[in-house]
Structure 1
Amino acid sequence: MTQKKLNVDLIFVTGMSGAGRSTTLKVLEDIGYAVIDNLPAFLFPEFLKGIKAGHVQLPLVVGFELRSFAGCATKTMEMIASIRDGIVVRLLFLECQDDILIKRYNVSRHRHPLGSKTLLEGIQRERALLAPVVNYADHIIDTSFVTSMTLTRILNNIFAQENSPNLEIRLMSFSYRHGIPPDADIVLDARFLENPFYEESLRPLTGKDEAVVEFLNNDYAWQTVYRSIQQMLIPTIYGFKKSGRSYLTIAAGCTGGQHRSVFMIEQLSDFLTSLGEKIITEHRELYPS
């Protein structure tokens, strides 16, 4: 039996500077949360009052640096705890090892926000400041050896809601004469099919017309290749979903972008729609922007 996801109303994100707060907020925004970052300490009490009164739209993610609360970490955590009765609240703490943080700062060439004499000293001061927060955290993620893709998967597993956006698949036909779409993730070549252009009755039609569809379906190579494409796409789309990807562009091209590529995209649209996927279909050469 599949466990029903618990929809989270409000997520507070904090932790070590350099541990990946910006990346985390972006992932959560893609999942479907509104995002507020760097909420000033003086606004925090009024913000919580607005939450209690129902004046703030949820679900929401709030990112903040506890150093701006001037050592009042425990009091801040108690304020967060005070709103847990009415809504589902989660506190996410991002952890990272000192040596990894030093490497990240050296690569980015950013100064540590505490402005200490040495980078390590700043990191250690911040760690001491945040120590009381760890006990209040609902989730602790150590990003020391976590790639952005893995972090996306972790956050999706924890925080994706029942109504979070699914993978959106954009299908596009195009003409090789006018170039491959630069944003295509997967490119399929339909030029192996017999070209309807050389049939006088089919030349003015498109790959959406029944006569062209019948002509291309009768090409002996089509069904074999089509089955191979289906077998390739099912695990590929599953992998993109697991990685937390919110969109995928699949393009199919032929010489003129009128017959074979349009036919292929329409066939793929029917197939993926039958699997319950969210599809957007475009024919670049038929309806140029």
Structure 2
Amino acid sequence: MGTEAGMSADQPARQRVLLVTGMLGAGKTTALRVLEDLGWEIVDNFPIRMLDALLDAGSSGADSDPAPLAIGFDSRTRGFNPERIIAQVKALTERRDIELTTLFLDCGSNELERRYNETRRRHVLAGDAPVSTGIRAERELLAPLRRWADLLIDTTEFTSNDLQRVIRERFASSEPGELTVTVSSFGFSRGMPPVADLVFDMRFIENPHWDPVLRPQTGQDQAVGDYIRKDPAYEEAFTRIRDLLLLLLPRYRAQGKAYVHIAFGCTGGRHRSVFTAEQMGAALRQAGFSPTLLHRNLGSRAADLLEGGLRREK
């Protein structure tokens, strides 16, 4: 009972294998780095035609509980042929010693072009033509593989932290019943966080940005925190949000939810949201949770310009 037909109970566990591919610039390196942190064995820029040999070598080992394996490849791979790869992987899914999944990382063409221009890198398929030409050629080349992949993650609106969080949510081996809590800050001037579960807008609080002394500081500085606490609405709002979270988080955990991302936003993401996120993280730790703190826009050089260029909030 409990074992697959044809497999004895003392046979080694099936090895978990993840193929990671997608558009160049969509985040493959970041995804593989997170998987490595999660305990996966990583092989990047792998000649996919040798996949069978790699998996055969791994299955010949004596390890009864092999580490999960993530294999990265993309259109730069010699002899890259999506149709051939699909046929090869389909055959591998019939093997009873591995559990094979394909992850495709996609990204909008305009955003990819912006990333290339920002890094001043040439697209390998563009030659002497504009980056957009290479992106179009790559998208056409990868279309069959994108349609066939088991998992698709679109990183167009993602920061690096957003992608890291999504990879952890999908591939971390958390024990049942555990709840991973992330508390983050962000600036609305740079857009909403695309993967937040709960978002709280702190722009109703008096803005320290308009104090010339506090403007270069952040919500991690005591003077900024003192300024925010003086706003009559802050303490009551903070208490109500904290109590709401302390009500919701155990219920999320009881329903089997493994990850909750709580985001606090203000205009530039440097003062009110940062201070509130720091304080809420401390409150949740005191209540027995272990939240991870992320500040999306704290290090953004353009944050002051974005905030200062907006109409002053009342």
TM-score, normalised relative to structure 2: 0.49
Show the counterpart of 2:112: 101
| Greater alpha carbon shift after TM alignment, 101-110 vs 8-17 | 8-17
Shift of 1:159: 1.5
Aligned partners of 1:16 and 1:94 also within 8 Å: yes
What letter corresponds to residue 108 of structure 1 in structure 2? Answer: T
2:143 matched to 1:131? yes
Give the paired residue count. Answer: 197
Give, in angstroms, the shift of residue 34 of structure 1: 1.7
Contact 1:8 1:159 in 2 (8 A): no
Partner of 2:92: 83
- Is the 1:97–1:144 Cα contact (8 Å) retained in structure 2? yes
Percent same amino acid among aligned pairs? 31
C-alpha displacement of 1:157: 2.4
Give the 3-state SS of the residue equivalent to 1:92 in structure 2: strand
Q: Which residue does 1:68 correspond to in 2?
A: 77
Cα separation, 1, equivalents of 2:158 and 2:107: 10
Alignment equivalent of 1:21, drawn from 28, 52, 59: 28
Name stretches of at least 5 consecutive residues in structure 2 with no aligned partner.
1-13, 181-219, 223-241, 251-258, 262-284, 291-314
Q: Aligned partners of 1:24 and 1:163: how far apart in 2?
A: 21
Kindly provide the amino acid, as one letter, of the partner of residue 123 in structure 1: I
Please list the CA deviations of residues 223-249 of structure 1 after superposition, one character each: whole Å capped at 9, or x if unmatched: xxxxxxx99xx89x99xx746xxxxxx
- Counting only pairs closer than 5 Å after superposition, residues 157-236 of structure 1 correspond to structure 2 as 157-162=169-174
Is the CA contact 2:15–2:67 (under 8 Å) kept in the aligned structure 1? no
Give the distance between the partners of 2:62 and 2:50, measured in 1 at CA.
Answer: 15
* 1:111 counterpart = 2:122: yes
Contact 2:42–2:71 (CA under 8 A) maintained in structure 1:
yes
RMSD: 4.4
Cross-structure match for 1:156: 168
Q: 1:24 to 1:39 in 2, by over 3 A?
A: same
Q: Distance in 2 between matches of 1:68 and 1:112?
A: 14
Stretches of 4+ moved more than 6 A in 1? 164-167
CA distance in 2: counterparts of 1:125 and 1:131, whole angstroms: 10
| Partner amino acid, structure 1, of 2:102 | L
Which residue identity does 1:126 align to in structure 2?
Answer: E
Q: CA deviation at 1:71?
A: 4.3
Asked whether 1:48 is paired with 2:59, we answer no
| Cα distance in 1, alignment partners of residues 80 and 41 from structure 2 | 28
Larger radius of gyration: 1
What is the CA distance between 1:73 and its match in structure 2? 1.6
Structure 2 counterpart SS, 1:129: helix
Distance in 2 (alpha carbons) for counterparts of 1:143 and 1:270: 34
Q: Which whole-Å CA distance do the structure 2 matches of 1:49 and 1:40 have between them?
A: 15
Q: 1:13 touches 1:21 (CA, 8 Å); kept in 2?
A: yes
Structure 1 regions of 5+ residues with no counterpart?
1-6, 168-185, 189-229, 244-268, 279-289
- Summarize deviations over 1:196-238 as a string: whole Å, max 9, x none: xxxxxxxxxxxxxxxxxxxxxxxxxxxxxxxxxx99xx89x99
The whole-number CA distance in structure 1 between the counterparts of 2:117 and 2:140 is 22
- Equivalent-residue separation in structure 2 for 1:91 and 1:142 (angstroms): 14
Match of 2:41 in 1: 34
Q: Distance in 1 between matches of 2:133 and 2:43?
A: 29
Match of 1:10 in 2: 17
Per-residue deviation, 1:96: 0.8
CA distance in 1, matches of 2:20, 2:67: 15
- Alpha-carbon offset, residue 141 of structure 1: 0.8
Distance of aligned partners of 1:139 and 1:55 in 2 relative to their CA distance in 1, 3 Å threshold: farther
Q: Is the CA contact 1:8–1:161 (under 8 Å) kept in the aligned structure 2? A: no
